[in-house]
Structure 1
Amino acid sequence: MNDYPKTSRLMQRGAEFLGTEYAIMCGAMSWVSERNLVSAISNAGGFGVIACGAMTPELLDTEIAETRKRTDKPFGVNLITMHPDLFELIAVCERHAVGHIVLAGGIPPKGSVEAIKGGRNPAKVVVFAPTLALAKKLLRSGGDALVIEGMEAGGHIGPVSTSVLAQEMLPELAEDHVVFVAGGIGRGQAIAGYLEMGAAGVQLGTRFACATESIAHENFKKAFFRANARDAVASVQVDPRLPVIPVRALKNKGTEAFTDKQREVAGTLDREEIAMAEAQLQIEHYWAGALRRAVIDGDVENGSLMAGQSVGMLKEEEPVAAIIAKLMEQSEGALGRR
């Protein structure tokens, strides 16, 4: 017997698309969304997603294999579209018969969607879009599902809030497409609202970052537990010629250091020492290193504490299964009161 009949009915399309019990995806968080957290989320009925980030094909190959040892449930892989080895990473996912690939960080380069869907082990493609026009274009170009993510989210963000994007995009897209909503979701009551608006499911990152199964350093988790929503701030773009996607993180010395890093990279552009693509890649590598310092080493002063504004709702370490159960119970309760 299903303990959450109303929520499950509204999640049915999303759950069928993912092959899971619940249409709850975990947002890909570099250094956090690895074999332990990903497998725990999938084993608990959700959908874990490996954050490939700046991994080499060899590292991703190992990560997928290690995740498979820990779960026989579906999980996905998040690939950054600007990664120089994108097609090699796609080939690694194909060899492992990964069923879902999430493409993030910009418009997928030519041939990438075809490579994902046209191999011996074709995968479903999940795309991100910050505007309705781009969402329609990506879905026409082979995207099987869409994530609309608002500025309340942690990590790389767009300029518009989740609630506005949902109101704009769900009425236009939800009837014919599988759409997940992300950004600032910390409780099941919000999940119920987006499901009623037509979403097929949701994606949460920050809510899972401090789970018991997360390998994040104790200092990292404590920083999250101390934080309020207003502590998760967006980075500032220093030079308009260097189109850096804003990043939301807890304010510390690391956020100030990123301002200096932008000036440094902008200077190399001025001197024509590197091309724009290389400049943007340097910024991504900076974030990968800054994240590692915080997540793995526990340097919460100088590392990057990427967090969404829902961080203020995190007060304690909980097992993934308990988090998912709580979210489903809250959603079911909200729908039952309607």
Structure 2
Amino acid sequence: MTATNKITQLLNIKYPLIQAGMIWASGWKLASAVSNAGGLGIIGSGSMYPEVLREHIQKCKKATNNPFAVNVPMLYPDIEKIMEIIIEEGVKIVFTSAGNPKTWTKHLQDNGIKVVHVVSSVKFAMKSEEAGVDAVVAEGFEAGGHNGRDETTTFTLIPMVKEKISIPLIAAGGIATGRGMLAAMVLGADAVQVGSRFVATPEASSHPNFKNMVVNAKEGDTVLTLKELAPVRMLKNKFYEEIQELYSKAPSKEELIKLLGRARAKRGMFEGNLDEGELEIGQISGLIHEIKPAAEIVEEMISEFETAKKEVAQF
């Protein structure tokens, strides 16, 4: 790995490999394991009440001496309290998503925090740079969970974003191997963010039922749906069939909201209800075949990255 990488320098990490802040999957155990292995672990605050987040940050600080981050979806109702806790607890890196980066970037930076914003389009990458963020994550629609409406793939999004911004760029969506990491970096990324692969780890806080379903997923088992609300990629299951049935009746937005109800993602990913839950995972799940420790995943990805780099050099 090169020592002059923009992202490793910016975030003070060994490898340009970041674990995504995933709802119901990334608590302090996963974040500290990835950080200890030389990547950047992220606590996903989207499923946490403020005091629960504080507890996770404190436990993460005890479990690793390396940098880690907190991901904050800006649609969060208690966002003022969340940001206050992040500052009080001395977190040094924040990944913001699902909102206007202008709102919190300066305030966080004034408190010595590096800010990275997650986007799904060139337009929002440019707006993020204007807002003064330190780096952006550009996420293709292969990614699990909430997603861009334009269905731009990672392979096309990364070079288009690279052409328009000058700040460091992190690629996300459909990356779970060292080869995928190299491909993203050849296209112009300075680092990669990996979500789905880290769900299938003992350290992920998601339910074993969900982890096993991810490991057994094949190509075509995920789908991007509910675009009228907020596009989400998830595994096909009974709940998805109910969505399809409702779509056949040309539903109103209100009817879709009623079907979605509350806490669908928690029910599936955290409580393990594989029929009624919203099972958010990326297309790359078709390439994930076993549950293994986060440190092993980091090690394997970096090793495969180096091997692939040598192979490509011989082309």
SS at match of 1:229: coil
Q: CA-to-partner distance for each residue in 1:274-307, whole Å, 9 max, x for gaps?
A: xxxxx89x97x83xx2222223322111112111
1:323 matched to which residue of 2? 297
The answer on whether the counterparts of 1:216 and 1:296 sit within 8 Å (CA) in structure 2 is yes
Q: Are 1:96 and 2:86 counterparts?
A: no
Q: Are 1:234 and 2:224 counterparts?
A: yes
| Structure 1: tracts of 5 or more residues without a match | 1-7, 238-242, 269-278
Q: CA-to-partner distance for each residue in 1:3-25, whole Å, 9 max, x for gaps?
A: xxxxx118722111121111111
| 1:1-338 equivalent positions in 2, closer than 5 A | 8-9=1-2, 12-108=5-101, 111-119=103-111, 122-158=112-148, 159-173=151-165, 176-237=166-227, 243-257=228-242, 266=254, 286=262, 289-337=263-311, 338=313
Q: Provide closer, same or farther for how the CA distance between residues 257 and 56 of structure 1 changes in structure 2, counting only shifts above 3 A.
A: farther
The answer on whether the counterparts of 2:97 and 2:119 sit within 8 Å (CA) in structure 1 is no
The answer on whether the counterparts of 1:54 and 1:83 sit within 8 Å (CA) in structure 2 is no
The answer on whether the counterparts of 2:229 and 2:253 sit within 8 Å (CA) in structure 1 is no
The answer on whether the counterparts of 2:155 and 2:187 sit within 8 Å (CA) in structure 1 is no
The answer on whether the counterparts of 2:5 and 2:16 sit within 8 Å (CA) in structure 1 is yes
Q: Provide closer, same or farther for how the CA distance between residues 303 and 186 of structure 1 changes in structure 2, counting only shifts above 3 A.
A: same
- CA apart distance, 1:54: 4.0
C-alpha separation in 2, matches of 1:256 and 1:111: 38
Q: Provide closer, same or farther for how the CA distance between residues 84 and 214 of structure 1 changes in structure 2, counting only shifts above 3 A.
A: closer
Code of the aligned partner of 1:220: F
The answer on whether the counterparts of 1:33 and 1:49 sit within 8 Å (CA) in structure 2 is yes
Q: Provide closer, same or farther for how the CA distance between residues 224 and 142 of structure 1 changes in structure 2, counting only shifts above 3 A.
A: same
Code of the aligned partner of 1:229: E
- CA apart distance, 1:263: 5.8
Code of the aligned partner of 2:124: L
Code of the aligned partner of 1:82: L
The answer on whether the counterparts of 1:11 and 1:195 sit within 8 Å (CA) in structure 2 is no
C-alpha separation in 2, matches of 1:226 and 1:197: 30
- CA apart distance, 1:236: 3.4
The answer on whether the counterparts of 2:223 and 2:233 sit within 8 Å (CA) in structure 1 is yes
The answer on whether the counterparts of 2:269 and 2:280 sit within 8 Å (CA) in structure 1 is no
Identity of aligned residues (%): 30
1:276 matched to which residue of 2? none
The answer on whether the counterparts of 1:11 and 1:201 sit within 8 Å (CA) in structure 2 is no
For these two proteins, the number of residue pairs brought into alignment is: 307
The answer on whether the counterparts of 2:185 and 2:191 sit within 8 Å (CA) in structure 1 is yes
- CA apart distance, 1:139: 1.0
The answer on whether the counterparts of 1:254 and 1:290 sit within 8 Å (CA) in structure 2 is no
Q: Provide closer, same or farther for how the CA distance between residues 85 and 157 of structure 1 changes in structure 2, counting only shifts above 3 A.
A: same
The answer on whether the counterparts of 1:253 and 1:302 sit within 8 Å (CA) in structure 2 is yes
C-alpha separation in 1, matches of 2:29 and 2:47: 19
- Aligned alpha-carbon RMSD (Å): 2.4
C-alpha separation in 2, matches of 1:10 and 1:166: 22
C-alpha separation in 2, matches of 1:304 and 1:186: 22
With the length of structure 1 as denominator, give the TM-score of the two structures.
0.84
